């Protein structure tokens, strides 16, 4: 009997300790913007590691304030990295992580942290990712991969595959529903960079503008279930014949962004995926 009581007392203490530690952890600051905007894990709904986007539970108009100039990221009170707001009017990118402004591309319940520096990406620091995971905020979003590139004279066939790595079903832009021209309003044709010539070769396709920059339709979206993949293929015209050489090919799979207000982010129990993913591949053209 004494052993039974001791066993249940031990279990109770463990559970109480976990609950207390989780509460303490959730109250710790994770993001500090400027001098007076402090946010804890409790303020956030999720972190999408595929786009490095942090989603607030509610709208936060103050995060788009151009008066703010810097931010700091923490995990369990340890500062992981810091960065600045960066204006699109500036001629160069910062070497540290940054938040783009002028324009602010996303609605005021989302912050996206960009990085174009060299070396290890501080946004992927294991301490930060582990903290998000332990607090139940980590979502993996999408992955995308270039599959096939077929060049035939002035015509190019380009295929890529998109996979839902998230634990949730996601709604993504579907070019088969939108049509290729409207889809390419949200992204460009693939870019081919000849590494020896240091020259860019581009492809072209006509794009179709929506009714306005804030327009979106649920009919443009398709459900991509957790763990599922979709492959898409486009045909492009080649602007100039490709010279022989090694190329770095890049292409961006787009999602919606500023068009989606907070109360429309979820359609039923499915979340609209926001942001974009850059795919790259090296290939040799003879």
Tokens of 260: 């989606």
Assigned domain for 240 exists: yes
Confidence of residue 144 (pLDDT cuts 50, 70, 90): very high
Q: Which of 74-83, 101-110, 183-192 has the lowest mean pLDDT?
A: 101-110
Whether 174 and 199 share a structural domain: yes
Q: Which residue has the higher pLDDT, 23 or 174?
A: 174
Does residue 95 sit in the same domain as residue 120?
yes
- Calpha distance 196→231 (Å, rounded): 31
DSSP structure string for 180-230: HHHHTTSS---EEEETTTTEEEEEE------SSTT---GGGEEEE-TT-EE
Length of the chain equals 286
Residues 114 and 230 grouped into a single domain = no
pLDDT reported for residue 101: 83
Banded pLDDT at 223 (limits 50, 70, 90): very high
* Domain total in the chain: 2
Q: 67 in a domain, yes or no?
A: yes
CB 32 within 8 A of CB 74: yes
Nearest to 128 by CA among 83, 166, 76: 76
Tell me, yes or no, whether 66 and 128 share the same domain.
yes
Residues 218-240, mean pLDDT to the nearest whole number:
96
* pLDDT for the residue 22: 46
| pLDDT confidence of residue 197 | 95
Q: Give residue 17's pLDDT.
A: 35
Same structural domain, 156 and 260: yes
Range from 16-25, 29-38, 95-104, 125-134 that averages highest in pLDDT = 125-134
pLDDT value at position 26? 59
Range of the domain at 260: 141-285
Q: What is the CATH number of the domain that holds 236?
A: 2.60.40.2970
Q: Which residues, 6 or more positions from 135, have their beta carbon under 8 angstroms from its beta carbon?
A: 22, 25, 26, 41
Same domain (yes/no): 177, 217? yes
Among candidate residues 134, 169, 201, the one where a domain is terminated: 134
Among 134, 158, 177, the domain boundary falls at 134
User: Looking at the domain assignment, is residue 155 inside a domain?
Assistant: yes
Q: Quote the pLDDT of residue 87.
A: 84
159 and 270 belong to one structural domain = yes
Q: What is the pLDDT of residue 4?
A: 42
Residue 244 lies in a domain: yes
What local confidence, expressed as pLDDT, does residue 14 receive?
36
Shared domain check, 152 and 245:
yes
pLDDT in tens, 70-103: 999 999 889 999 999 988 777 777 889 999 887 7
- Reported as a pLDDT band with limits 50, 70 and 90, residue 57 is very high
Same domain, 89 and 122: yes
Is 90 a member of any domain?
yes
Domain-located, residue 55: yes
- Top-confidence residue, 54 or 21: 54
Please spell the DSSP secondary structure of 28-52, one letter per residue: SEEEEETTTEEEEGGGEEEEETTTT
Tell which of 134, 163, 193 closes a domain: 134
Whether residue 187 is found in the same domain as residue 280: yes
């Amino acid at each position: 009997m004494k052993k039974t009581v001791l066993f249940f007392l031990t279990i109770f203490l463990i559970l109480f300790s976990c609950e207390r530690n989780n509460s303490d952890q959730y109250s710790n600051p994770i993001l500090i913007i400027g001098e007076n905007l402090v946010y804890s894990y409790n303020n956030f709904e999720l972190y999408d590691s595929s786009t490095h986007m942090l989603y607030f539970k509610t709208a936060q108009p103050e995060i788009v304030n151009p008066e703010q100039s810097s931010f700091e990221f923490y995990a369990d009170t340890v500062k992981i990295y810091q960065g600045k707001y960066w204006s699109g009017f500036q001629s160069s990118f910062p070497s540290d992580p940054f938040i783009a402004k002028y324009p602010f591309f996303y609605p005021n319940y989302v912050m996206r942290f960009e990085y174009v520096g060299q070396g290890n990406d501080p946004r992927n620091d294991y301490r930060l990712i582990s903290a998000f995971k332990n607090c139940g905020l980590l979502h993996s979003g999408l992955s995308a991969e270039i599959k096939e590139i077929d060049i035939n004279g002035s015509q190019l066939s380009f295929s890529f595959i998109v996979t839902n790595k998230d634990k949730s079903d996601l709604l993504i832009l579907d070019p088969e529903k939108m049509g290729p021209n409207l889809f390419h309003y949200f992204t460009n044709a693939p870019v081919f960079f000849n590494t020896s010539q240091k020259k860019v070769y581009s492809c072209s396709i006509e794009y179709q503008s929506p009714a306005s920059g804030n327009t979106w339709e649920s009919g443009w979206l398709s459900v991509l279930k957790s763990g599922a993949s979709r492959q898409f293929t486009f045909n492009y015209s080649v602007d100039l014949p490709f010279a022989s050489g090694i190329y770095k090919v890049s292409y961006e799979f787009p999602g919606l962004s500023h068009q989606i207000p907070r109360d429309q982010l979820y359609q039923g129990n499915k979340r609209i995926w926001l942001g974009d993913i850059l795919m790259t591949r090296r290939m040799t053209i003879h």
